Amino acid sequence: MFKLVTKATVFSAVAVSVSAPKIVPTSSPAPKLEVGEVHVNPDIRLRHMVYRPAHPKGTVLFLHGFPETMYAWKPIAESLSSDYEVHAFDWPGYGQSSRPGADRFAYAPKDYADVLADYVRASGIDSSKLVIYATDIGALPALLAALEQPDIAREIIVGDFAPFNRPQYMYDSLQGLKSKASSDAVRAAMNRNRDEILANTFFRGMSEGERYALPQEFRDDMAKGWGGDVTSADAFFHYYSSFTRDQDYFEANMAKLKVPVKVVWGEQDIYIKKEMGVEYADRSGVKLLVLPGLGHFPHLQAPEQTVNEVRAAFSAGSNPV
């Protein structure tokens, strides 16, 4: 069991089975999935999915990471949709959302933060009833958006991301993207190895018995959405080219954050080690939930855990501690 010496409030989750995870549906009929597009500014059109129950208790917005699309959240969204209005969208450069040239859109965390804020406004979401759940590349933009707009959500849940410039906590290829000397080579290799990335990113470092099922619809959507003039690897490369700048800005200003935040981390994350989450939780004094047996993608490996975290966020109100 992972032990933590920190001033942050830390929780240890029970061990979670990772073989064929299932979500038990609620007794109420779930609303049907709506898939469409929303223009958030002249250059950016986002593909989004929305579930709208007749009497929602609140709204959830899920933000995906690399190399995912909004369909990463579909099983979780279906489980929550009887009680909550559920939103997810493809980040620019992913899925079926816009892919403007880097001369028009930087794909930086700060730019993604602006896209997030624009989406909340364009979708008419009541921020006072909104919980944002963000992972990987989606998490820092959520926190940056909250710095600029303190009432953007009632709570933000973030996990398995890099709030600070700490290359020692990151996977080798990710470190390579942060270095100008090696980033072009890493970008080229990622574009060359698309099929290997989509097949193995979610299971790297796991034994055969630890692997979990991914919906075929999600797999197909990632593959279909990779290409174009700006591939998902290109968007990832551009994100990292401004990553250090935006990490440093967040670290210098994180004490100003007013939105309640909770941190969730896979104990066995090999891409961004749990020590990153420990440092962030310790320094900001927020809750940290370390999930035994889970890796970088807890929402895919144990989706019922994510469902429970969202429901807990609404049950507990807006107090982060």
Domain boundaries, the chain: 10-316
Domain 10-316 is found in CATH 3.40.50.1820: yes
Name every residue whose Cβ is closer than 8 Å to that of residue 258 and which is 6 or more positions away in sequence: 146, 150, 151
Give phi and psi for 194, each to the nearest 5.
Answer: -50, -50
Q: Report residues of the chain scoring pLDDT below 70.
A: 1-30, 317-321
- DSSP per residue over 178-199, as a string? TSHHHHHHHHHHHHHTHHHHHH
Predicted local confidence at residue 316, as pLDDT: 76
Which two tokens mark 1?
Answer: 């069991």
Predicted local confidence at residue 20, as pLDDT: 45
Determine the Cα angle at 207 with ends 209 and 271, to 5°. 125
Instruction: Report whether 202 contacts 196 (CB < 8 A).
Output: no
Q: Tell me the C-alpha distance between 91 and 45, whole Å.
A: 10
Q: Tell me the C-alpha distance between 155 and 320, whole Å.
A: 8
Q: How far is CA 289 from CA 7, 35, 265, 267, in A?
A: 14, 32, 6, 9
Q: Which residue has the tokens 């591939």?
A: 231
Q: How far is CA 206 from CA 200, 245, 269, in A?
A: 10, 33, 10
Give phi and psi for 212, each to the nearest 5.
Answer: -125, 165
Q: Tell me the C-alpha distance between 282 and 238, whole Å.
A: 30
Predicted local confidence at residue 30, as pLDDT: 66
State the pTM of this model. 0.90
